[in-house]
Structure 1
């Protein structure tokens, strides 16, 4: 994970994800919007699963359970609001 830009209310991050990795089911108090630059992922938001491929995007409401299975090495941009202080540089 690499923070790219941030201000008081949002943070934009780049994620490089390895094929075969999983992000287990979780939820958080942040609205999350993502864009898949490259790769392929199986993404669950709430009860709905979908395969995301390069060029796809999604939004996850705050406190909504979600999880990801990385089907191909992937690069993702994600915007979080309110800002995730745990993702700030030097934290």
Structure 2
């Protein structure tokens, strides 16, 4: 995907990373922003990646497990996931939308 200064979500790449979990992503040279939509009760299964990840829930609620910590997050709450740390997310009954920033860019999403 060509990197742009201004990006509409319709211009982003789109990936279904787990059943009921869609990611729309755009990237600069060294970081990437993704809009994540998790359907009600859908799960981002336990995984890890070398990328640092920070994010914020913007709608709905989900149970986040990062390493040995677990917390239900809702709109306006943020999270930090260091590279290499296992994590899992399960949307609650209303589903969840979040924004994620990755460094470096996750090329598999583009």
* Runs of 4+ residues deviating >6 angstroms: none
Mapped to 2, the partners of 1:61 and 1:78 lie a distance apart of 13
Higher relative contact order (CA 8 A, sep 6+): 1
Mapped to 1, the partners of 2:24 and 2:57 lie a distance apart of 15
Say yes or no: does 1:14 pair with 2:35: yes
Q: How many residues align?
A: 87
* 1:13-33 CA-partner distances (Å, limit 9, x unpaired): 101110110111110010000
User: Which residues of structure 1 form unaligned runs of 5+?
Assistant: none
Residue equivalent to 1:46: 67
* 1:35-84 CA-partner distances (Å, limit 9, x unpaired): 10000000000001000011100110000000011102111100000100
Mapped to 2, the partners of 1:40 and 1:49 lie a distance apart of 13
User: Which residues of structure 2 form unaligned runs of 5+?
Assistant: 1-22
Mapped to 2, the partners of 1:36 and 1:80 lie a distance apart of 15
**Cα RMSD, aligned residues only:** 0.8
Mapped to 1, the partners of 2:58 and 2:69 lie a distance apart of 22
Mapped to 2, the partners of 1:87 and 1:79 lie a distance apart of 12
- For normalisation by structure 2, the TM-score amounts to 0.76
Aligned with 1:86: secondary structure?
A: helix
Mapped to 2, the partners of 1:74 and 1:24 lie a distance apart of 15
